Structure 1
């Protein structure tokens, strides 16, 4: 399942080079991943489990200035491996060009124990494309 929404860069997102700062892109990657989880997970799942990032691989392909909007899109293409799975993210500008593309690895944590949890097939199913 692909999940997406628009993001408009604000003045606070812009660095000294006049475009969205790399740290902001990382925040947006986390924001869309969390929004996707909140969209598909039940209240009980959200209360019992939390995801954490273990790795980011990001390709910066273009710049975005204040006031410009990108479409953030995320999906999971492969089944999880144990407690982890890779999430794909891309941000496409109004010009149709991909500005940033990433693959991030997320791990599932049991909120009560703080320990890694195996991602069960029924939990992964709503994410898989």
Structure 2
């Protein structure tokens, strides 16, 4: 499986009244990293033809992150797609090596021209499963 990584630093606008990254921000980061992975790995003709929507999030919060703290996001697709959907795994690890957040999200591929679900063909999935 191909793992995509990205570093994120929490800014003041990411912090809630408890003094750490807000849960809604984690969801945004999950989406941002997944979309960045798509654009980094998929063929340009696939970018033009398809986009993704989330159908399910399952998130485990294991630790807090404060303003100025950096985490490393890693995401991967562990299994072949099922029709128009696949599961993506993600984890965010602090500089101390401790996992702060883990997630499993289900994504569905949409055909840009029709706005309908599109079966994920082998050539689209292959770069994510390598």
Q: Report TM bin, short chain.
A: over 0.9
- SS of the residue corresponding to residue 119 of structure 1 reads coil
Aligned length: 129
**Displacement of 1:44:** 1.4
Q: What does 1:72-87 align with in structure 2 at a 5 Å threshold?
A: 72-87=73-88
Question: Partner of 1:100 in structure 2?
Answer: 101
* Distance in 1 (alpha carbons) for counterparts of 2:125 and 2:36: 15
Residue of structure 2 in register with 1:52 after alignment: 53
Residue 28 (structure 1) aligns with:
29
Distance 2:72 2:125 in 1: 24
Q: Which moved more, 1:36-45 or 1:104-113?
A: 36-45
Q: Does 1:43 align with 2:44?
A: yes
Q: Does 1:13 align with 2:14?
A: yes
Tell me which stretches of 4 or more aligned residues in structure 1 moved more than 2 Å: none
Structure 1: where are the runs of 5+ without partners? none
TM-score by length of 2: 0.98
Give unpaired runs (5+ residues) of structure 2: none
